[in-house]
Amino acid sequence: MPDNNERQTHDKKRRHIGQYVASGDWSEYWTTKISRAENGRIWVRGYPIEELIENLTYIESAFLLVTGELPSAREKAVFDLALRSSMDQQFINSAVGAARFTASAFPDSPIPALASGMLASGSVTGSDQEPAEMLIEAVGWNLDQDATCSRVLELWLQRRGRVPGLGHPMHKKAEPRAVTLRKMALELDGWREHGRLLDAIEAHLASEKGRFIPINLAGAMGAVYADLGLDPLIIGGLGALSYGMAFLAHITEEVREGVPLRIIPDQLGAHYAGPDERHLDKERGSS
């Protein structure tokens, strides 16, 4: 079986609505390569679903769904490692706060709160999509390592004012999840070209800044997923999905043990910075 780095993870040619309007042929308008269902039969990526349910683990099934092929033993181990590396980090991830706020206001079902947590999972809250995109783009330049690192810093400090995948508001010397993920990925031969480049960028940034800014979990996960050959869109989704169990745990705790209708009083940091009290009659009378 070919390694996933040799697989095409997404089609480069995109269809557009104009071609269907112009031709009047809508026969392929709704097309999917993922699954097929008929009366009493279901196939996923070409396999009868009975075979998959009977023989695959959840990790293998997930890999098949997002890539279209079954994982090798190495890919399965690395994919499983990355997915379980997020776990939880108290309230440091603000997407957890979004989920718990929603749960406090809508305790009837976990689904709206789960959606809130997913929707708040982005570049600021630690999505691994942006680091992956950075690394994939940089590897594609085919420059030597020093030139690549210099260009990455120049581009991303202009684009974002920071380098994706590096730095953490709490873990200043090392992000424990990232350290463990990297260590185990190395043992599984899952820290390859993109991972090595992230190491080099970390060292280069430290040299330029004069202080160490460690690889964070989003960076490590982005590198591992990129080394598995995954599409950046899939990588971004996996980042949110891998935190999904933490969202569910927080949501359940909030509903069962929390405080209905969470607020932010002054004692917890609410601060008004607008104008002092004023009145319409005085302002209009003086105009």
Q: Can you give the pLDDT at residue 7?
A: 44
Tokens linked to 255: 């509903």
CA distance 278 to 274: 11
**What is the rounded distance in angstroms from the CA atom of residue 226 to the CA atom of residue 183?**
17
CA distance 180 to 177: 5
**What is the assigned CATH class of domain 94-103+121-244?**
mainly alpha
What is the residue-level pLDDT of the chain in tens, covering all 287 positions? 344 444 444 446 788 999 999 999 999 999 999 999 999 999 999 999 999 999 999 999 999 999 999 999 999 999 999 999 988 888 888 889 999 999 999 999 999 999 999 998 877 777 899 999 999 999 999 999 999 999 999 999 898 888 999 987 777 788 899 999 999 999 999 999 999 999 999 999 999 888 899 999 999 999 999 999 999 999 999 988 988 999 999 999 999 998 888 999 999 999 999 999 999 987 777 65
Q: Where are the domains of the chain?
A: 94-103+121-244
Q: For residue 115, give the amino acid letter.
A: A
Asked if 56 contacts 64 with a C-beta cutoff of 8 angstroms, the reply is yes
Q: How far apart are CA 11 and CA 233, in angstroms?
A: 13
- Kindly state the tokens that stand for 115: 């959606």
* Number of other CB atoms surrounding residue 186 within 10 Å: 13
Residue that is written with structure tokens 């400090």 in the block: 157
- Quote the pLDDT of residue 61: 97
Measured at the CA of 255, the angle between CA 263 and CA 84, to 5 degrees, comes to 105
- Token reading at 153: 């810093």
Give the pLDDT score at 286.
61
